[in-house]
Amino acid sequence: QALADAMPKSAETAYLLGMGLSSVGRRDDARAAFERSLQNMATYWPAIEMLIEDDLSRDRKPAALKRIEELIAKYPLVAGPWLFRANIRLLDGDANGAEADLLKAIETEPNAHLAYLKLARLYFQNDRKQEALEKLKAIAVTKNSAPGYMQLGRLHSGMQQFDLAREAYEKAIALD
């Protein structure tokens, strides 16, 4: 009870306290700090991510999915919940579902850099390099997105297409 009474009022401070508690193995106290963070700010995404990770590490995937589905229903135009669900789907081996969620994250937030990274990785892991190039280029151009161009440049570099990589990187820099 003393820890709950001393819990910070700021979402970020509560989150940082949770990270500290987690680092010394006090998982239940860390979870309480992350929950407090959300009491202070319902959409503090780092705390949400830690709670989802905690649920998954304790074999409580249904609880993690429930939280994610509630977030998607409440905030359908925010990339974070879609990214969380894509992670779960990747863990389950559902590449198609993960791809759909990553594309939704990019649609909702064109500068969601992590979504581009995960999408590019997904395509590479499934030997879909050409498709990765086409989709990322279409997304980068349509959304005029610096992260999209950065990922496009990385894909071109990985395929030894250095002139195209440079062109994509230059577009990203110009947009940033």
CA 53, 58, 60, 61 torsion-angle sign: positive
Residue percentage of the chain with pLDDT more than 90: 59
pLDDT category of residue 5 using cuts at 50, 70 and 90:
low
Mean pLDDT of 27-52: 93
Given this model, what pLDDT does residue 124 score? 79
Instruction: Using the predicted structure, report yes or no on whether residue 164 has a pLDDT greater than 90.
Output: yes
Instruction: Using the predicted structure, report yes or no on whether residue 117 has a pLDDT greater than 50.
Output: yes
Choose between 8 and 110: higher pLDDT.
110
Contacts of 150 by beta carbon, 8 Å cutoff, 6+ apart: 113, 116, 168, 169, 172
Q: Other CB atoms closer than 10 Å to residue 56's CB: what's the count?
A: 16
Given this model, what pLDDT does residue 131 score? 81
Q: What is the DSSP string of 45-76?
A: HHHHHHHHHHHHHTT-HHHHHHHHHHHHHH-T
45-57 and 27-40 helices cross at what angle (nearest 10)?
A: 150
Given this model, what pLDDT does residue 129 score? 82
The whole-angstrom separation of Cα 56 and Cα 8 is 26
Given this model, what pLDDT does residue 57 score? 92
By C-alpha distance, which of 46, 47, 65 is closest to 55? 65
* Burial class of 92 by CB neighbour count within 10 A (0 to 12, 13 to 18, 19+): exposed
CA 38, 44, 48, 51 torsion-angle sign: negative
Which amino acid appears at position 155 of this protein?
L
pLDDT category of residue 1 using cuts at 50, 70 and 90:
very low
Instruction: Using the predicted structure, report yes or no on whether residue 176 has a pLDDT greater than 90.
Output: no
Residue percentage of the chain with pLDDT more than 70: 95
Please give the radius of gyration of the chain, using alpha carbons only, rounded to the nearest integer: 19
pTM: 0.73
Q: Other CB atoms closer than 10 Å to residue 4's CB: what's the count?
A: 11
